[in-house]
Amino acid sequence: MQITLTYQSSRADAMRQYLRLWTSTLWRFHLMFVISTMVVVWFVSDLWVKGHDRLLVAAVAGLLFLLFLLAFPMLVFRPEVRTLEADAQGLRTRIGAQGGSLAWRDVQAVEERPEGVNIVNRNLHAFLVPRSAIGDDAQVKRFVEALQAWQRAAA
């Protein structure tokens, strides 16, 4: 059996998913990156800044890097129409002329959400499939069950 969906995600969908991931996991990595950035800038700024201004320069650099980390997903988001094919072997997706595939062993989770279904890759990238692309509640339930069964079988 193969399931094929054609849909379009919005930046709002992507932002909701990103904020959910950020509050559960990503904030730890971002904190580590921001602190690392501040430490590096602290030491490097000694070449051109003296005194307590080094702390200010390091803090500003850390804040700017955090803002970049938060904005990056929105900068690389592609709102084009997508095609998603799912079967027992995995997922295949196409956005315009670009395509890719993902084996079920590389899928971390298939989650039903009020706005749709999120298929989360182990590297925390996600397919955000809106409910409108799947159908009514019964079709969403069957879709999620099929994907979760394929994922479990591959584990």
Asked if 35 and 92 sit in the same domain, the reply is no
Number of domains, the chain: 2
What's 140's domain CATH number? 2.30.29.30
Q: pTM of the entire structure? A: 0.66
pLDDT at res. 124: 72
Residue 52, domain extent:
11-76
Q: What is the DSSP letter of 2?
A: -
Asked if 26 and 58 sit in the same domain, the reply is yes
> Alpha helices of the chain — where are they, by DSSP H?
11-21, 27-44, 53-76, 131-134, 137-154
Asked if 42 and 88 sit in the same domain, the reply is no
Asked if 93 and 148 sit in the same domain, the reply is yes
CA distance 130 to 27: 25
Asked if 21 and 67 sit in the same domain, the reply is yes
pLDDT tens for each residue of 75-109: 888 888 899 999 999 999 998 888 899 999 999 99
